[in-house]
Chains A and B, each alone.
Chain A
Amino acid sequence: MSTKPIEIQPLGEPRKPSRVNVARRRAADHLVSGLAILATLVVLAPLVAILFYLVYKGASSLNVAFFTRIPAPVGEEGGGMANAIAGSGIILVLASLMGIPIGIAAGVYLSEFGNGRFLGNAIRFTADVLNGVPSIVMGIAIYSLVVKPQHHYSAFAGGIALAIMMIPTVTRTTEEMLATVPHAIREAALGLGVPKWRTAVSISLRTASPGIITGCMLAFARVAGETAPLLFTAFGNQFWSFKLNEPIAALPLQIFVYAISPYDEWHRLAWAGALVLIALIMVSVTLVRIFANRGMLKGGS
């Protein structure tokens, strides 16, 4: 095969863009950046306002007793929400233990196995509908399905109600995050003789895990503040209770009860409860994020 040396043509002077053009592009650039910043501020403003208002109204009622005592009877000074904080923790752990594994498993099925199948489409549709079900309806449904047959309210029933509310969010984010995992990576694993289920769990799911963890945290934060589904399930409790088959206190329930009461002292405690609820959600989401990052390999793209 004969090769000819390639002749390289000089490019000549590059054409200069005209002055007007540059000025217009710059103006458009500034305008769009400005709009984006403005939109960000508009989004952040209510959030910051709520946080400040909560601190302003609630911080003064926060003291050690708030975190260590149970609610005081009407007319008595002091008292706290220790049982409600613990109760919320128990209900949320129960809900996460039930809702997250089921949600992730359904998401894996949708993305890796059920695509184009009738069952896959049915699950996707159900998840979307479930996501739109009002939370009070969820409470009533669990009341008739779990509470009535058992003849008593329970922490367990509250956990189930919240778990079902978490499932659609977890399922859909899992599915979407798995869809972003490049097909080439799955082929690499299949090409090594790794069975399909193992590829789905150890390769696809692991690659998508940062996004899936974010989805789980969103679901968690959403149900952590839910009140309506707990009214008919966990019911609330003015005393300590760690039993899963008995009514249990929860922060949102306690806030609700105090906020609609006629007493100023209780109103102040409700504000403090709201502040603590938001702070606890932020702390738990941040902690999960830190631990998740630590478990994952750094570097690379």
Chain B
Amino acid sequence: MGVGILVEDLNAWYGSTHTLQDINLHIPANHATALIGPSGCGKSTFVRCLNRMHETNPIARATGVVKMGDVDIYREASPVEIRRRVGMVFQRPNPFPTMSIYDNVISGLKLNGFRNRRVLDETVERSLRQAALWEEVKDDLKKKSGASLSGGQQQRMCIARALAVDPEVLLMDEPASALDPVSTSKIEDLIFQLKSQYTIVIVTHNMQQAARVAENTGFFLNGKLVEFDSTHKIFTNPRDKRTEDYITGRFG
């Protein structure tokens, strides 16, 4: 089951660039939340702050409070614990090139020392079914390298890999931007099904995609959260002039 995320006064820097400024926002549990905005507005930085990936860059730092359920992730947990509870899917599929499909999906458990064969087998099947990839790869799980799949299949495998560690939150940073329309619609269907069990945060440049999959949408501009509301409200009757300009395509 997913948990809600509460963000209070979040600020983030890369070197001396202030990429996120005073973000306050509540992401509800078991819903999909879309983040839109022009390139460089801080959406990606924001999701990377939610699983403490931001700090893997040596020149990056962040201040503020991010609460996942009751846990303050910057003060009450280690990055490793948080990343096990928060799955992440990146813009480009990033399979482990030396591993088979099976090993890719199970890598999160195996690399954390989990060895029970029966549980591993079951997890691979469950995750691949959840990611709608099982039927396509079930015959060459251990024969084929994860990198030999098509781009769309690789991305669904990466989603399966993120789901295999049984996270509560799933962060998706433009998960379909490198994919063709057929694969994109498969990924959207997937998000639609997964959001009953996970809290999903999806960054996207595709506004129709945000409208299709997300209940809530946030609009970022120049490192600030301009507006956050129900997706319907954002796309039909935004409060802020800048949001309206962006979604009607007048800039950005």
Contacts and interface: CB of A to CB of B under 8 A. Distances in A.
**Are A and B physically bound partners?**
yes
Interface of A: 115-116, 182, 184-185, 187-195, 198-199, 202-203, 206-207, 209, 296-301
B174 to A, nearest CB: 13
Interface stretch (B4-12, B142-150, B225-233): B142-150
A191 B83 contact: yes
Contacts of A298: 145
Contacts of A189: 96, 107, 111
Interface in B44-100: 51, 53, 56, 58, 80-85, 87-88, 90, 92, 94-100
A193 B112 CA distance: 8
Nearest to B207: A1
Contact of B90 (A188, A206, A301): A188
Contacts of B162: 191-192
Contact of A191 (B87, B96, B144): B87
12 contacts: A191-B87, A192-B84, A193-B83, A193-B112, A194-B112, A198-B111, A203-B111, A209-B98, A297-B98, A297-B145, A300-B97, A300-B146
Interface in B121-152: 144-148
Nearest to B103: A297
Interface residues of B, number: 34
A203 B103 CA distance: 12
A192 B107 contact: yes
A190 B83 contact: yes
A184 B99 contact: no
A207 B104 CA distance: 13
A192 B98 contact: no
B210 interface: no
Contacts of B84: 192-193
B38 interface: no
Nearest to B247: A1
Contacts of A116: 58
Contacts of B120: none
A168 to B, nearest CB: 26
Contacts of B51: 191
Contacts of B87: 191-192
